[in-house]
Amino acid sequence: MEVGLQRTFVGDEIAPVRVKEFLDEADEFSLLMMRYNCAIREVRTKLEVLNDELSVIGQHNPIEAIKSRVKKSESIADKLLRRGKPLTVESIETNLNDVAGVRVICSFMDDIYQVARMLAVQDDITVLEVKDYIKHPKTNGYRSYHMIVEIPVFFSDVKRSMRVEIQIRTIAMDFWSTLEHQVRYKKAIPNTEFIVGRLKECSDTIAKTDREMMEIRNYIQGS
């Protein structure tokens, strides 16, 4: 049985491609998605432990919220097709780093780097890639700290190293990103360029406010 209909570019033509059963129903695909969900639980537990510890030794909870998700099968297929990669379970593990995603929402900018450092030094976490879009924001104003990590997950008969993308940002950065995402994927928005320009201005304002809020907090704590 085949399920779903995806599209991929062949030269200048758009050709229909059947997405095979593994995307929704094959045992191997379901097993892989279960493993990604387990990897997310491992990362969430580590973050919750760090937050609890810091609330005791530092009198401050750096993490306001933790959100997580595993990519939907359609999104996985679409990304593989756009990259010209085969639609196989092996290809997912080899070519995609963001199937499992964890988003960490912090109060202040320095909390972001503190949480990232504390994760990176744990001996069972391997940091594969870091992209600092706070110090080097995207042209549209997007700011966030991204880490691709590999973490061991123990199952009944095997230990598997699973990759997880971790995004760490402030509350304001997350609010901005949510709105920008709506603009990017909503069709038929009038004056799109005007909206994009205003979002960029908002991003700059948010960055300035984040820095000032951190300075105010530091002043209060030091007084």
Tallying the residues shown for the chain, one arrives at 223
Q: Indicate if 74 belongs to the active site.
A: no
Residue of 165, 180, 193, 212 marked active site: 165
- Rounded CA separation 143/164 (Å): 19
Using DSSP, state whether 181 is helix, strand or coil: helix
Residue 38 burial (CB count, 10 A): 16
Strand partners, 149: 127, 164
Contact status, residue 179 vs residue 199, Cβ threshold 8 Å: yes
Partner residues linked to 14 by β-bridges: 9
Beta bridge partners of 210: none
Catalytic residues: 165
